[in-house]
Amino acid sequence: MQKAVFGGGCFWCTEAVFKMLKGVEKVLPGYAGGSKADATYEKVSSGKTGHAEVIYIEYNPEEVSYKTLLTVFFASHDPTTPNRQGNDIGPQYRSIIFYTSDEQKKEAERFLADINASSKSGEPTVTELVPLKEFFGAENYHKDYYANNKSAPYCQVIINPKLDKIQKEFGELLKKI
């Protein structure tokens, strides 16, 4: 197993997206990238800790590549808007990749360069690329949020369209249900 850590807005959304993928064995919401010694939803939501809402992924590289994870990551959020994804605003919602190895760093650098070179709008990505120093797991009520709250308005309006998009664009990558 290998691990990957991504922040692409609200971790409820990214957790739901990556849980659908073949080869992804575990997805946990949490916080990373801050300057404080601990992180809680309340503290991170203040926007003053420097942490981003992220997901920690354990995946089998024989079933899904890191490049494929990057492809889905960039397809599931807007990497050109700083500190914002839709109505979720603040530094905790920034686009960020936390690499866990030199290979991941190089792969992400190539991927970002390719995205920027092929941008039709000319807008570069604002996605940060930094080493993972520490991951703080989110509170239990955030875990499997979408699976446990599918009828909640946020899930219906924000998460469902993302899942629909991923299912349409990446059907071959999805776990069989």
Q: Which residues are catalytic?
A: 10
For residue 14, what are its two tokens? Answer: 């990214």
Residue 144 half-sphere exposure, CB side, CA atoms within 13 Å?
A: 4
SS3 139: coil
Amino acid at 82: P
3-state secondary structure of 70: helix
Q: Which residue in this structure is represented by tokens 């404080």?
A: 36
Q: Locate 57 and state its tokens.
A: 């992924």
Signed CA dihedral, 57, 7, 85, 165: sign only: negative
What's at 15, amino acid-wise? Answer: E
